[in-house]
Amino acid sequence: MTAATDSTTRQAQDYLAAVEHELADLPTEDRSALLEDLAQHLDALAAEDDDRPVAVRLGPPAAYAADLRSAAGLPARGGVARAASLGMRERLDAVLATPAGRRIVPAAREVGRLLGELRPAWWVLRGYLVVLLPCLHELDGVSDFPVPAPLDNHLLGAVLVVAAVAGSVALGRRRMPRPLGLLVAASGVVVLLFTFVAWDRSEVSRGTYLGAAGTSPPEHAIGEYPLLSRYGPVTDVLPYAADGTPLEGALLYDQDGRPLQVGFQEWWADRCVRVLEQPLAADGVPVPHSFPQSYELLGLDVDIHSVPVSPGQCATDLPRPHVPLPVFPAESATD
């Protein structure tokens, strides 16, 4: 008799566990209430004189669990998510039925219509940004706006922009599967965000080149760049004699006898790190504000952006740029 009782108890526990598995998608409170009723029912069955298995007496656990759901007014298995979705839809419909909601719907439709009309403009902008974004990371990125200049070539940039815009428009007009369309849209958003970041870090946004950025230089140049021209900050002065001979070690002063000061040269065409090397006077004291400015290559393994330097990248000699010099008329001969 004890063996039979143990077998019945084990069957009841297995049956209870199987029904609990069928009710696993229900909230904890609803599931606990149903299982409590089932446990009481199983205790009552154990007291009866019936040797049939529990699954035979009550039916399969899945069917019994379905009956419990139906009797309690709960959704069938797998219908909880649908019921929650329907509940959200009902709440949304209730909100939209209010006076404020009735004003939201037309406004949302107008916004959607406007976004649809702006899609071609976005296609054009997306193609342009694909070419502009790499150029903004260059040290002289200001020269790449508004026409990008990859490899310092504006003609190449214009050709690439036309090709990129044509490809972007063709891609936008094409019907694509939804996953691929979402991937393309996400890629466009990433390009836009990275462009904002690159623009914020570029020379244009920082105003390093005021003339190219389209703004007027301040009336009083102070701080990092004490001397400005209409084209941007002055970082060096290259003096020449009247006959075109380059001058070295020239000391220049303003109208009040103050030494002329220029900004520090922070970037170079080769992107290598350099420091200002001032000439020394006879007593060994450095002579500041001596022109042209002389910079010494540090020979580091990384450039000014902490990127490893490739062999031969750094120029040891920095020749003067070619500049046109005025031609002075010869003095007229006197009689």
Which 3-state string (H, E, C) describes the chain? CHHHHHHHHHHHHHHHHHHHHHCCCCCHHHHHHHHHHHHHHHHHHHHCCCCCCHHHHHCCHHHHHHHHHHHHCCCCCCCHHHHHHHHHHHHHHHHHCCHHHHHHHHHHHHHHHHHHHHHHHHHHHHHHHHHHHHHHCCCCHHHHCCCCCHHHCHHHHHHHHHHHHHHHHHHHHCCCCHHHHHHHHHHHHHHHHHHHHHHHHCHHHHCCCCCCCCCCCCCCCCCCCCCEECCEECCCCCCECCCCCECCCEECECCCCCECCCCCCCCCCCCCCEEECCCECCCCCECCCEECCCEEECCCCECCCCCECCCCCCCCCCCCCCCCCCCCCCCCCCC
pLDDT at 100 over 50: yes
pLDDT, residue 335, reads 47
CB atoms within 10 A of CB 228: 20
Cα–Cα distance measured from residue 255 to residue 235, given in angstroms and rounded to the nearest whole number = 20
Q: Which of 262, 259, 237, 257 is nearest to 247 (CA)?
A: 237
pLDDT, residue 91, reads 65
Quick check: 26 and 77 in contact, CB under 8 A? Answer: no
Using a pLDDT cut of 90, give the percent of the chain over it.
Answer: 3
pLDDT, residue 95, reads 62
Q: What is the pLDDT of residues 316-330, one digit of tens each?
A: 888 887 777 777 776
Cα–Cα distance measured from residue 76 to residue 78, given in angstroms and rounded to the nearest whole number = 6
Residue 264: CB partners within 8 Å, gap ≥ 6?
A: 224, 235, 276
> Which pLDDT band holds residue 206 (cuts at 50, 70, 90)?
very low
Q: What is the pLDDT of residues 274-299, one digit of tens each?
A: 888 888 888 888 888 889 888 888 88
pLDDT, residue 270, reads 84
Q: What is the pLDDT of residues 101-148, one digit of tens each?
A: 667 767 777 777 887 788 889 889 998 988 888 887 664 444 567 788
pLDDT, residue 215, reads 44
pLDDT at 162 over 90: yes
> Which pLDDT band holds residue 94 (cuts at 50, 70, 90)?
low
